[in-house]
Amino acid sequence: MGPRPSNPGRLAAAAADIEKRRPAAWNVELGALLTDTVEVAARYGESSDGGDPVSGEFLLPESEYGGVVNWGIFQSANLAFEYLHAEYENDFQTDDTVPLQLAVEF
């Protein structure tokens, strides 16, 4: 017989919390090659992580959308400009991410 939990009440409460949280997510992406060296892509997604509005614990954004423009500046180098906007449940938080990435293949 394995070890017994030191606090069975806490274990039962954690199991009940997991039972009421039912995370779900979906995502749609679309991309196109505009020229031999330029491609664009866009995405939209939504999720429901069952976060707790009292504690402010939200694991996944409620909605996200964004896009990317990727330019093959050389045969072994790409420059990408991305944008991603995320909104969380109950206006808890809004994030805007704007990375610029230079990728070089060796």
| pLDDT in the model for residue 38 | 96
| Dist. CA 46–CA 87, nearest whole Å | 9
User: What is the residue range of 72's domain?
Assistant: 22-104
* Cα angle, residue 71 at apex, residues 85 and 32 outer, rounded to 5°: 70
Residue 70 lies in a domain: yes
Average pLDDT of the chain, as a whole number: 82
> In the beta sheet, which residues pair with residue 103?
78
- Three-state DSSP at 14 gives helix
Residue 5 has pLDDT above 60, yes or no: no
- Cβ contact 83:70 at 8 Å: no
pTM beyond 0.75: no
Residue 64 domain flag? yes
For residue 81, tell me if it sits in a domain.
yes
Q: How confident is the model at residue 91 (pLDDT cuts 50, 70, 90)?
A: confident
Tokens 């060296």 correspond to 37
Helix (H, G, I), strand (E, B) or coil at 62: coil
Could you give the number of structural domains in the chain? 1
pLDDT tens digit string along 41-82? Answer: 999 999 886 566 566 666 678 899 999 999 999 989 999 999
Regarding predicted confidence, which is higher, 18 or 29?
29
Q: Is there a domain that residue 6 lies in?
A: no
